[in-house]
Amino acid sequence: MLLKPPFQKPQITIKVLFLQIISPVDAASFNSALQEYWGMQNIYLTKTARQALWLILSSIKPEPGSEVIVSSFTPVVVPLAAMKAGCQPVFCDVIQDGFVMSPEDAEKKVTKKTIAIVMPYSFGCFSDIEKFTALARKHNLILIEDCAQTLKGKYKDKYIGFNADFGIWSFGISKNIGSLNGGAFWYHDRHKKGVEKAMAKFLLNNKPKHNIFDHFRASGVPFINTRFGYWLLRPIIDYYQRGRETSRSIGYDTAEFDSALTNFEAALCHRQLNRYDHVYQRRKMNYQIYENELKNLVKFPSQPFEFEPDYLYAPILVEQQVRARLLNQFQNTLVSDINFAYINELDVLKGISFNTPNRLRVQDEYLLLTLHHSDKLTRKIARQLKLAIIKFSK
């Protein structure tokens, strides 16, 4: 592969942009579409998932010093959202040889100051909702399902995200429906009063900010999706991502919290939702291709039979030495390691305990495989990785 395919592939296409021009839709239409898709009400749209988490925590009016248990293997925006709401993040370890929070370690982290648990389905993997629900009830805690990396996953024939007090989703450019911006949250009826009051205050003070740059960015996505476009623009993309990570190391970007979702952003999310079942089937098929080719060489996450996953990527665990060589040869093309490791290096989080040995091991052994290509190209990638893993294991 002379020009290697990009690891990320936002699903915005020329057709999606054209449809928005000839038949525009707005945020209210997208909200209605989500409610119909999941068969649920009590859904609010937000600019991002981190904004959704901040609004949820703000709606329960935390006391100063309140603690929120979050995964130690998570994007930095999760603890930053908790801090913006006036809470202290407490980091929980992951399960052994897995990517999701350990309910046993979470219980050890509960104190008199704990008010909530943010339970993620990292990379679309199963998180033990029944154990976390029991834990939340035992200690009278708010349980928030973080579904930022899943959309269509089900447990016991019920969509995940609707099993606790709240559920949050992301529609960002690298997420399941791959739009520009967008998030949403669902709330249980028992939280209706607090949520509606918080949202009314937010929408009164924070109007949608229309940014012409978003239109140009959306128009450029179909070109960037190609191998040539990604190869040509990769230095610019990498520079942009480094800049965003640097800004987050200083603190949270208020623009990502303090503006409402625009109709243009919501419309792109709506178009993506309309075609998501096709995307879901392709990713499901490609995951099976990787499993068939690599199952004897790497570890895939184990899932209960009652769980229907909606994988954003195919996450695997591989020996540390092999992983390093794979990243050196295929980083951001055939494999990636979306970096959660630097979360404990941020200035704003210094002084917070990271007693999470499972996480330390997992972050040195995990890789992500892309699922967005055709089945033909995915088979080629799987075979190329298989040969490389065999070679690097010697």
Residues 358-385 have a mean pLDDT of: 91
- Report how far residue 317's alpha carbon sits from residue 358's, in angstroms, rounded to the nearest whole number: 13
Reported as a single tens digit per residue, the pLDDT across 185-244 is 999 999 999 999 999 998 887 766 656 555 555 555 555 555 555 555 566 655 555 555
Contact status, residue 90 vs residue 114, Cβ threshold 8 Å: yes
- Report how far residue 313's alpha carbon sits from residue 331's, in angstroms, rounded to the nearest whole number: 15
Tokens of 146: 């973080």
> Cα–Cα distances in Å, from 242 out to 39, 239, 306, 348?
39, 5, 39, 18
Tokens of 240: 């942009």
Tell me what percent of the residues of the chain surpass a pLDDT of 70: 77
User: Residue 2's pLDDT is what?
Assistant: 41
Residues 288-294 have a mean pLDDT of: 97
- Report how far residue 204's alpha carbon sits from residue 189's, in angstroms, rounded to the nearest whole number: 23
Looking at per-residue pLDDT, the higher value among 208 and 52 belongs to 52
User: Residue 261's pLDDT is what?
Assistant: 86
User: Residue 384's pLDDT is what?
Assistant: 94
User: Residue 7's pLDDT is what?
Assistant: 61
User: Residue 27's pLDDT is what?
Assistant: 86
Report the run of H or E that residue 218 belongs to, with start and end.
helix 212-224
Which residue, chain included where needed, has tokens 């249980």? 188
Reported as a single tens digit per residue, the pLDDT across 30-41 is 999 999 999 999
Phi, psi values for residue 9, rounded to 5°: -145, 90
Grouping H, G, I as helix, E, B as strand and the rest as coil, residue 208 is strand
Range with top average pLDDT, 29-43, 68-82, 318-332, 360-374: 29-43
- Give me the DSSP letters along 315-382: EEE--HHHHHHHHHHHBTTTEE----GGGGG-GGGTTS----HHHHHHHTTEEEE---S-HHHHHHHH
Reported as a single tens digit per residue, the pLDDT across 85-112 is 999 999 999 999 889 999 999 999 999 9
User: Residue 239's pLDDT is what?
Assistant: 57
Residue 245 has pLDDT above 70, yes or no: no
For the beta sheet containing 314-317, the strands, ordered from the edge strand earlier in sequence to the opposite edge, are 314-317, 366-369, 335-336
Instruction: Tally Cβ neighbours within 10 Å of residue 357.
Output: 12
- Which amino acid is present at 259? S
Residue 48 has pLDDT above 50, yes or no: yes
Which domains does the chain possess? 14-205 (3.40.640.10), 274-393 (3.90.1150.10)
